[in-house]
Amino acid sequence: MVKLYKLDASPPARACMVACELFSVPVELIEVDFGEGEHLKPEYLKKNPLHTVPVLEDGSVVINDSHAILMYLADVYGEQESFYPKDPKQRALVNQKLFFNSTILFIRLRNISFPLFMEGITEIPKKKLDAIEEAYGFLEEFLTRTKYLAGDNITIADIAAYATVTGLVVILEHNAQKYPKTQAWLKDLEKLPYVQKGNAKGAEEYRQLVKSKLG
């Protein structure tokens, strides 16, 4: 059985949990207790020297990046090719948006969440909020061109980005009138059963954590 080491509040981990639901992966979900330092224990560091979540273990294969995990799950367990097309040109578009999530959306969330949770800050600098606002603009532009991030079908790029954006909106609520395509995209994904099961609980945990830190 596949093992997924996760923290429900983590957007990257939630994206992988959504994918496991979507692809009906036979998975054992293992919570990593950061408060108890489980992510720093030698046995965990052997799996992931970066001491982050998620980590996927499938037999001898161990993967410690959520985007790589999504690609792997889609290739190995996904029966519907549309979520991660095998055609090189279509796949490149999905990869492009996965990297957009990794380098733009998620990094701008992490630039706030890490100092918030690990360094004890209680106020978010305006320039970091402005960076999220800019990211919403990029997202809206992409969704103006196609219904979903990499085309007119949902792909693993949407799964990755959706989990991240449900974290971003806790920090800075998006303006639904200014970003109508983003609003429609969020609502569309939110209603999907596999998204609900994999993301909703952890997204609320993240919201409560942020509220507790910002008072």
Q: How confident is the model at residue 120 (pLDDT cuts 50, 70, 90)?
A: confident
Q: How far apart (Å, rounded) are the C-alpha atoms in residues 39 and 189?
A: 31
Ordered alpha helix ranges (H), 146-179: 156-171
pLDDT at 172: 97
Q: Would residue 10 show up in a list of annotated catalytic residues for this protein?
A: yes
User: Residues 10, 66, 113, 212: which is the catalytic one?
Assistant: 10
Q: How far apart (Å, rounded) are the C-alpha atoms in residues 71 and 76?
A: 9
| Mean pLDDT, range 48-58, rounded to an integer | 97
Q: Would the pLDDT of 210 be above 80?
A: yes
| Mean pLDDT, range 14-22, rounded to an integer | 98
What CATH number does domain 2-81 carry, 3.40.50.1820, 3.40.30.10, 1.20.1280.290, 3.40.190.10? 3.40.30.10
Q: Which of 179, 185, 171 is nearest to 213 (CA)?
A: 171
Cα 95–Cα 82–Cα 169 angle in degrees, nearest 5: 60
pLDDT at 82: 97
Residue 129 token pair: 């909020």
Residue 186 token pair: 């969020």
The pLDDT > 70 percentage for the chain reads 100
pLDDT at 38: 95
Domain boundaries defined on the chain: 2-81, 83-214
Residue 147 token pair: 């219904």
Q: Does domain 83-214 have CATH number 1.20.1050.10?
A: yes
Across the chain, what does the average pLDDT equal?
97
Comparing 2-81 with 83-214, is the CATH topology the same? no
**Tokens 């279509």 map to which residue?**
90
Q: Would the pLDDT of 131 be above 90?
A: yes
Q: At what angle do helices 156-171 and 66-77 cross, to 10 degrees?
A: 150
Q: How many CB atoms lie within 10 A of CB 173?
A: 8
pLDDT at 143: 98
